[in-house]
Amino acid sequence: MKKRIVLIIGGGIAAYKCLDLIRRLKERGIGVRVVLTRAGEQFVTPLSVGALSNEPVFTNLFDLDAEREIGHIRLSREADLIVVAPATADLLAKMAGGHADDLASTVLMATDKPVLVAPAMNPRMWMHPATQRNVRQLEADGIRIIEPRVGEMAERGETGPGRLPEVPELVAAIEEMLAGSPAGAAREGPLAGLHVLVTSGPTHEPIDPVRYIANRSSGKQGHAVAAAAAKAGARVTLVSGPVTIPDPAGVDVVRVQTAAELLEAVTRALPADVGIFAAAVADWRVANAGEQKIKKTAGARAPSLSLVENPDILKTIASGKGPSRPPLVIGFAAETENVTEYAARKLKSKGADWIVANDVSPASGVMGGDANTVHLVARDGVESWPLMSKAEVAARLVARIAEHVAQRREAAQ
Ligand code: CTP
């Protein structure tokens, strides 16, 4: 049967992305009925929304014609999913407080269907304790939140978490929820009830607005671990540097570019029960990246770059005290020689519980390839695994985590 969503468009500069979102959903055969909040109408018009959705657009609770024809109760009941994008700080507050003073909030109160909320706002508004409290409340109420992405804001010079995810990500989350997959429903499996945080991919450290320092990490191993943890029933947050591989299913993905953004996103995603740090974070960034493109001038010397050390995300989190340190912290080590010896040193120096040591010597073909030779280094010994695919490494690592969690649960009883 054809799936239908109600899309509530709040007032934010990101509302324009919803026009494309409607088109993409329609292409996939998903019916879209739009509710525009009063603030939303300031950013997109009922005319353009109606033309794209090919449905009447609902704007006012006391629009008697619309009430007679469909009514806000039917509007919410006839949908398979309610999506709020962009959700403003005000809309989140209304939802958390159970207000019903306009059509959008009334539909949200009247529905018995799953709700997906994609907040977008100024980073300071997002980080405000009131907004964070409201988001936690909504999560506790069973509403799925897609975290805003870190990046440049519409306001000049402002960066931070607050951007609406791009349309393909919104489409994926909507399709996933319409399919009744783990994101909405209660999860099952050995990691059910746990929050697993995974970092993956490289980081890009800008030299100037068009150039950057990067590395060859593909993100395949980290993404495979995130997918395996989700399959085992965990709620997974994947913080990923720039990669070209698809998002794993059933995982909340936060996209970042630099090591500094990675640290910020990881810190925000805590607390977690397990932290898996598979990202190939650049060890250095350019000390004073140019605000403008560096030009070459005939006869002048080539510019020299001076580098400063990036924060070590694994070490920062592993050495944390109290609830900010996940009870199980797993790092990765990329080594080209003396693999287990160097990994054991890293285990100590970074304060991790386990290190998954990869042999990345050029002969191994690991970087960018599909297979991996790893050793699991823990304080009480080393386990060497045979050559296997990155998906198999991920599945085996998740199985080891599940064993560890089960033992810990037993010991706690
Ligand atoms: N790591 C991190 N933040 C950094 C550098 C590394 O979180 N700034 C994490 C990686 O995600 C990985 C582990 O630390 O889990 C080991 O990374 P690796 O690059 O192998 O080690 P380095 O600490 O960079 O040491 P070296 O390059 O000297 O081998």
Average pLDDT, the chain: 90
Q: Which domains does the chain have, with CATH numbers?
A: 1-185 (3.40.50.1950), 187-413 (3.40.50.10300)
303 Cα–ligand 1 center, Å: 28
The answer to whether residue 365 scores a pLDDT higher than 70 is: no
Q: Tell me, what's the pLDDT at 330? A: 98
Q: What angle do CA 202, 237, 205 make, to 5 degrees?
A: 25
Q: Are 196 and 232 in contact (CB under 8 A)?
A: no
Q: Tell me, what's the pLDDT at 258? A: 97
Q: How far is CA 360 from the centre of its chain?
A: 27
User: 25-39, 68-82, 304-318 — which is least confidently predicted?
Assistant: 68-82
Tell me the two tokens of residue 73.
Answer: 């109760």
Q: Tens digit of pLDDT for each residue in 146-177? A: 988 887 767 767 777 889 998 988 998 899 89
Q: Are 327 and 273 in contact (CB under 8 A)?
A: yes
**Can you state the angle between helices 17-27 and 167-178, rounded to 10 degrees?**
50
Q: What angle do CA 164, 250, 247 make, to 5 degrees?
A: 65
Mean pLDDT to the nearest integer, 16-24: 96
Dihedral over Cα of 324, 92, 187, 174: its sign: negative
Q: Rg of the chain over CA atoms, in angstroms?
A: 23
**Residue whose CB lies within 8 A of the most ligand 1 atoms, among 215, 217, 266, 277, for a mutation test:** 277
Q: Tens digit of pLDDT for each residue in 192-251? A: 889 999 999 999 999 999 999 999 999 999 999 999 999 999 989 999 999 999 888 888
Q: Tell me, what's the pLDDT at 71? A: 75
Residue found under tokens 């080891």: 400
Q: What is the DSSP letter of 375?
A: E
Tell me the two tokens of residue 75.
Answer: 């509007």
**CA nearest to 356, candidates 405, 407, 394:** 394
348 Cα–ligand 1 center, Å: 13
Q: Give the residue whose CA is nearest to atom 16 of ligand 1.
A: 333
pTM summary value:
0.64
Choice between 82 and 56, residue whose per-residue pLDDT is larger: 82
Active-site residue, 134 included: no
Q: How far is CA 21 from the centre of its chain?
A: 18
| Ligand 1 pocket, Cβ-based, cut-off 6 angstroms | 199, 259, 277-279, 281, 283, 310, 312-314, 331-334, 346
Residue 153 in 3-state DSSP? coil
Identity of the amino acid at 112? D
Q: Give the residue whose CA is nearest to atom 17 of ligand 1.
A: 333
333 Cα–ligand 1 center, Å: 6
Residue 355 in 3-state DSSP? strand
The answer to whether residue 185 scores a pLDDT higher than 60 is: no
Of all residues in the chain, the percent with pLDDT exceeding 90 is 65
Q: Tell me, what's the pLDDT at 183? A: 42
